[in-house]
Amino acid sequence: MFTIHLIETPEEMRLVEEIQRDVWPDSETDVVPLHMLITAVHNGGLVLGAFVEEKLVGFVFGFPGIETTPDGPRLKHCSHMMGIHPDHRDSGVGFALKRAQWQMVRHQSLDHITWTYDPLLSRNAYLNIAKLGAVCTTYRRSEYGDMRDGLNAGLPSDRFQLDWWINTQRVQSRLGKLPRPAIKLTHVTRSGLQPLYPLHESSPGLVRPPEHVPPFEDRLLLTEIPTDFTALKSADFALARDWRFFTRELFETAFEKNYIVTDFIFDSTEGNPRGLYLLTHGESTLDEFE
């Protein structure tokens, strides 16, 4: 079992430096150093750590930011980095850290948290969209330039920028005492909604994207991605690039047409894991299947 608390001392910040090397290996220049973490938390930023006994197994780091709105500049919280030690992934640590962040940022009287992640990572999508209730209308090409760490090297660093409206009923329904059950693929296909395109194997265990983005004709879209993009990239780098450029065109086109990423389905009920984004058009309800 793990506990979560604020990290504020240099001694514990040193642990945050160290765990970054475990999470993002092979790139010392990408480690956020102790002095920057300390400066951030002394100026409204937050570093939260998950501990098993005295061992740091995960952390989340963010700081105040300013965003432009039609009514002028307004404050938000920019959640810059979350890392979970490889031995503790899929244990609930990430969800617990984000829930603690949600509580702390609300105490700062802010209502908006943003962060980025690779839209081809199914586990991240499931946590961020399905479990936390964030939404997305922003696709950023090569957000961080050429990254050199072991997880990101070699591919354009395209990212979703998420909007987490932390005081909404949507988020409350996911983080409350009785969270909303995850949507299964059968919930949406029963209504007649089918994936926008089929996936075909390029080799055993690896799926390839369509050659072209199909037309968008419905107010709800199901768009499928590989369930383990990291493994696919290791096995076939050229195929991973194909997925990057296909999904870049797919999501940029969808956002231009006023679609919103509102849910993610990670479903293995039929013995074949699948990961699919649910996109909702314009004024359609965000909670169609809740």
In a domain, 287, yes or no: no
Looking at 143, 175, 207, which one is the last position of a domain? 175
Exposure pattern of 183-200 as b/e (b: 16+ CB <10 Å)? bebebbeeeebeebbeee
Domain membership of residue 46 (yes or no) is: yes
Looking at the fold, whether 203 and 116 belong to one and the same domain comes out as no
Q: Say whether both 169 and 61 belong to one domain.
A: yes
Q: How far apart are CA 48 and CA 84, in angstroms?
A: 12
The CATH number linked to 158 is: 3.40.630.30
What DSSP element (H or E) covers 274? strand 274-281
Domain count along the chain: 2
Give the pLDDT score at 26: 75
Where a domain ends, among 133, 150, 175? 175
In a domain? residue 288: no
Whether residues 166 and 261 share a domain: the answer is no
For residue 290, the model assigns a pLDDT of: 46
Range of the domain at 74: 3-175
Residue 247 has pLDDT above 50, yes or no: yes
Do 16 and 157 share a domain, yes or no? yes
Task: Mark which of 122, 154, 175 sits at the end of a domain.
Answer: 175
Residue 157 has pLDDT above 70, yes or no: yes
Residue 285 has pLDDT above 50, yes or no: no
- Whole-model pTM: value is 0.92
- 289 in any annotated domain: no
Q: What is the pLDDT of residue 178?
A: 81
Shared domain for 164 and 275, answered yes or no, is: no
